[in-house]
């Protein structure tokens, strides 16, 4: 399958040396990040594929020492940093003997996290389970969506184990296709599942299961091309995360479905309970917003009526680029962001997904122990997508923080004096920006976005042949 | 929700005393099992619901000592033995303000494990993943469906952990409604997921996640009635199993879907690697076959054309009883069967599900270390279902061992001298029969059913007001 439909995705290479250099550079704050990345890219290009695969096969299994695993994982991530690569070629169905008008997203009527049962409906459905709450009290601390005294409905759970001092951290998620490229769809699904672990500061995943439904509307040909690409994408992303996919379930279903389960068994010091924000902290966001706007705008390229509504504020090229950026962003692991949470003493974090920035900020605020409130001043948004959002009558409510994201960034409460260093560090290690977007002040456990937030275009300036 | 739609399902009670009595009776082989069960039933009836709930709430969490957990679990199971109860009243949609013709099974076009992608298709889809096999070699021992060198596609996985000597055992499964009673559907889905753990001799489940899709074709009313019942059934079954459901994912989908993830972290002595059958062993089966035939025959009650094909060999009453027996059987945990595998030194086991008795026997035979073959002589079948199978042109291939089962029994290789005691013990503890159905002889790792196997009707004789 090497090179099968995803020529620009280069597998993990032995970049220990580069990583060390980057780490030195970080300390000295001297060597520009771009050089380290170009170096990485150069090394990868020089390394024959076969050798890369050997290195991959020889990489230690996931039950090695945590320290080694961390170092190894850092290498893997740096090695696969898509930022170091040229822009990914769009998925071409005809290159796989499929019809030119094949669209993966047509195999479901709901997209991405739009398929989730609305929060208020879910709460209603869960009401009947409230009467045997006792056994689950310990879970209520760890919910992303706080549902009083019911464990079901949250994205991730922490369960104390029978074995001394260890806890089981688990999360599951599945949804419908939101991009046309099956390989990228697989990666995004995997990154999205893992993101819930990372939000809790858990950087090691011990095992993954893959949940897959083949659409009953696919032809055999479509099935035989698309499903292995999705599986491969999922598996490659798991590999980037230093984990493996050891099982799963595959069924037939009207809508194509992809998701998984991520499981970690860890010591208490491996996770960060997201309830310790204090007045004076600042809020950091590690990925730009606007994926939902970009994915929709991209589909509108085929729908003249829709396209006419936004073509005054954005070019076709802008939309294609925003779409590529969204894919890259959604497929990117929040693992480095999670690792650095430990280094910079993060007080609480969540990942931004289906309920939008504000929805998740509010859920996080609600679970704080201290009487705090979150105020958001800045909105980093994928370039041009704020304008698109406005042009189509604000249907996404992007600037109100309500636009759904898939596999979005981490929203982290950091001590004020650490936040700038955190952002600088993530840029050094990964080559991606992070932003201070707000503050933690005295309050009643709510979150809000100020009236006219500053929109930060990401990237601020187009660079030829580069994504960010 | 107590008593909501499932008046005959009584929750766990403190039956330590009864359990002790049953254990004594077992040693003395004197006291009839029925008495112990009637005693259990009596105690449950005497115990006010509130008190039962207090006991349940006060039951130790699952991170207690394994020994305590086992004892507790035994009580729970005995307490909830449906065999001790009257026949469950059929689900009445109008009692929940639904239309009288509401049928849960209409919310999917494929039923139960019939929704699984066929094995040969799955193998083809997985081909592309074969090239990074190295990391997963350790898994190949533990597959139910042996797929050389690929971890994906099996029902359960064992992963060594970073933490000293512990292993992660995980399984996932989800499918579409196959019975009309939402509460029972939830229980069956849960029992089915757990069955893969039990097949490996793992009797403790540390955590479950619930995977649920609400059908987009349900009215709000249907959704608000049916989904909480399914959830409740799933959760109650998890409780019977001594575990908890701490999370999950709920989406909208054309077809209603229900399933879950079961996870255990255990010591090596807690699981039994299913590869050690030797010549001279015998094969034991712990649940009767014929669930697929019964579920279909029950649907044919509404379809005169179909019904006419079988009405000469079976009465409507027979079909309704077979349907009730199937539900009871599918919702029953294989946990006692699993626990006794340790006591009687089982050499290998699997659970009988979508590929039918023969399919799973063949998969189990293939994974043996020794040069053995399995020969099956006896087929325990839910009463009248063998005749129904024959009458409809053998479309199910029940007597050929190809009829799909859902949440079927364990198929276990036991030393010949232990097998009778195993069957006697399971009857003592649970009140359910188990059967010696075949032998392990010298062979080439295949399984077969003899030309004219003996069909054992289960139960052999109808007893008024009792299911078995």
Structure tokens at A412: 């982290």
| pLDDT over 70 at B291, yes or no | yes
**Of A152-156, B184-188, B426-430, which range is least confident?**
A152-156
Of residues B117, B227, B265, nearest to A265 (C-beta) = B265
pLDDT digits 0-9 by tens, A79-99: 444 444 446 788 999 999 999
Give the phi and the psi of residue A458 in degrees, each rounded to 5: -125, 115
Residue A211 inside a domain? The answer is: yes
Total number of domains constituting chain A: 2
Residue B276 inside a domain? The answer is: no
Residue A448 inside a domain? The answer is: yes
Residue A27 inside a domain? The answer is: yes
pLDDT digits 0-9 by tens, A220-267: 999 999 999 999 999 999 999 999 998 888 889 999 999 999 999 999
In chain B, residues with a C-beta closer than 8 Å to the C-beta of A151 are 244-247
Give me the residues of A, 145-184, that contact B with CB < 8 A: 151-157, 159-163, 166, 168, 170-175
pLDDT digits 0-9 by tens, B150-159: 233 345 788 8
Which of B135, B203, B262 to mutate to test binding with chain A, by most A CBs within 10 Å of its CB? B135
Contact A265 B162 (CB under 8 A): yes
Residue B138 inside a domain? The answer is: no
One domain for residues B368 and B240 = no
Residue of B nearest to A235 (CA): B129
Domain boundary residue, one of B266, B300, B330 = B266
Contact B12, B80 (CB under 8 A): yes
Give B123 or A202, the one with higher predicted confidence.
A202
Percentage of the residues of chain B whose pLDDT score is greater than 70: 74
Q: Is A57 on the interface with B (CB under 8 A)?
A: yes
| Crossing angle for the helix pair B119-126 and A220-240, to the nearest 10 degrees | 50
One domain for residues B93 and B61 = yes
**Of A10-24, B144-158, B297-311, which range is least confident?**
A10-24
| pLDDT over 50 at A27, yes or no | no
One domain for residues B189 and B334 = no
Percentage of the residues of chain B whose pLDDT score is greater than 90: 62
Q: Kindly state the DSSP code that residue A112 receives in the 8-state scheme.
A: B
Direct distance between the N- and C-terminal alpha carbons of chain A, in angstroms, rounded to an integer: 28
Could you give the CA distance from residue A452 to residue B411 in angstroms, rounded to a whole number? Answer: 66
Of residues B125, B249, B252, nearest to A172 (C-beta) = B249
Residue B321 inside a domain? The answer is: yes
CB-defined contacts A:B, below 8 A: 259
Q: Is the pTM of this model over 0.90?
A: no
Mean pLDDT of the residues in chain A: 79
pLDDT digits 0-9 by tens, A299-348: 999 899 999 999 999 999 999 999 999 999 999 999 999 999 999 999 99
CA A436 to chain centre: 18
One domain for residues A344 and A229 = no
One domain for residues B63 and B22 = yes
Q: Is A49 on the interface with B (CB under 8 A)?
A: no
SS3 A435: strand
CATH code, domain with B399: 3.90.650.10
One domain for residues A317 and A227 = no
CATH code, domain with A222: 3.30.1330.10
Give the range of the structural domain holding residue B389, as residue numbers without chain letter.
282-458
One domain for residues B327 and B406 = yes
One domain for residues A368 and A250 = no
Alpha helices in A110-261 (DSSP H): 119-126, 182-199, 220-240
Contact A244 B136 (CB under 8 A): yes
Kindly list the catalytic residues of A. Answer: 115
In chain B, residues with a C-beta closer than 8 Å to the C-beta of A126 are 228, 231
Give B87 or A180, the one with higher predicted confidence.
A180
One domain for residues B345 and B209 = no
One domain for residues A300 and A337 = yes
Contacts of B377 (CB under 8 A, 6+ apart): B437, B438, B439, B450, B453, B454
Residue A317 inside a domain? The answer is: yes
One domain for residues A247 and A315 = no
Domain boundary residue, one of A202, A234, A266 = A266
Q: Is B251 on the interface with A (CB under 8 A)?
A: yes
Contact A57 B156 (CB under 8 A): no
pLDDT digits 0-9 by tens, A28-39: 333 333 333 333
Of residues A162, A229, A267, nearest to B63 (C-beta) = A162
Q: Which of B453, B272, B289, B308 is nearest to B374 (CA)?
A: B453
The helix or strand, by DSSP H or E, that contains position B258, with its residue range, turns out to be: strand B257-266
Could you give the CA distance from residue A130 to residue A153 in angstroms, rounded to a whole number? Answer: 12
Of residues A53, A172, A257, nearest to B247 (C-beta) = A172
Domain boundary residue, one of B212, B240, B266 = B266
Residue B214 inside a domain? The answer is: yes
In chain B, residues with a C-beta closer than 8 Å to the C-beta of A227 are 125
pLDDT digits 0-9 by tens, A364-378: 999 999 999 999 999
Which residue's structure tokens are 């609400």?
A: B214
One domain for residues B231 and B353 = no
Evaluate the CA torsion angle A314, A318, A323, A329 in order and state its sign: negative
């Amino acid at each position: 399958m090497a090179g099968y439909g995803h020529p620009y995705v280069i597998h993990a290479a032995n970049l220990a040396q580069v990583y060390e250099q980057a780490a030195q550079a970080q300390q000295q704050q001297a060597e520009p990040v771009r050089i380290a990345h170009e170096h990485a890219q150069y090394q990868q290009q020089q390394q024959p594929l076969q050798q890369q695969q050997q290195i991959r096969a020889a990489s230690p299994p996931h039950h090695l020492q945590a320290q080694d695993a961390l170092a190894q994982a850092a290498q893997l991530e740096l090695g696969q940093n898509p930022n170091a690569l040229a822009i990914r070629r769009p998925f071409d169905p005809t290159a796989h003997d499929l019809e030119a008008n094949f669209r993966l997203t047509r195999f479901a009527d709901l997209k991405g996290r739009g398929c989730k049962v609305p929060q208020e409906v879910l709460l209603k459905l869960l009401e009947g389970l409230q009467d045997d709450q006792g056994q689950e009290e310990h879970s209520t601390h760890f919910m992303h969506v706080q549902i009083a005294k019911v464990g079901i409905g949250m994205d991730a759970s922490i369960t104390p184990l029978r074995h001394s001092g260890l806890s089981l951290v688990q999360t599951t998620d599945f949804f419908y296709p939101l991009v046309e490229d099956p390989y990228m769809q697989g990666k995004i699904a995997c990154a999205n599942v893992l993101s819930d672990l990372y939000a809790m500061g858990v950087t090691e995943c011990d095992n993954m299961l893959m949940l897959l439904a083949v659409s009953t509307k696919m032809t055999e040909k479509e099935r035989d091309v698309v499903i292995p690409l999705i599986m491969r994408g999922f598996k490659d992303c798991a590999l980037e995360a230093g984990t493996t996919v050891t099982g799963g379930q595959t069924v037939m279903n009207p809508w194509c479905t992809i998701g998984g389960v991520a499981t970690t068994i860890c010591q208490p010091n491996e996770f960060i309970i997201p309830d310790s924000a204090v007045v004076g902290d600042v809020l950091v966001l590690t990925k730009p917003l606007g994926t939902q706007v970009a994915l929709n705008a991209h589909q509108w390229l085929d729908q003249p009526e829709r396209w006419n509504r936004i073509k005054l504020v954005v070019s076709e090229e802008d939309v294609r680029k925003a779409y590529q950026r969204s894919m890259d962003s959604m497929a990117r692991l929040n693992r480095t962001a999670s690792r650095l949470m430990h280094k910079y003493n993060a007080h609480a974090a969540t990942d931004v997904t289906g309920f939008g920035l504000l929805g998740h900020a509010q859920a996080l605020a609600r679970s704080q122990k201290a009487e705090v409130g979150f105020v958001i001043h800045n909105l980093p948004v994928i370039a041009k997508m704020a304008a698109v959002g406005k042009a189509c009558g604000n249907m996404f409510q992007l600037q109100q923080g309500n636009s759904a994201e898939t596999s979005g960034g981490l929203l982290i409460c950091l001590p004020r004096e650490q936040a700038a260093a955190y952002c600088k560090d993530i840029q050094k290690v990964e080559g991606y920006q992070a932003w201070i977007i707000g503050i933690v002040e005295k309050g009643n456990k709510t979150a809000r976005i100020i009236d006219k937030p500053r929109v930060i275009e990401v990237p601020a300036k187009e660079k030829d042949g580069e994504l960010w």
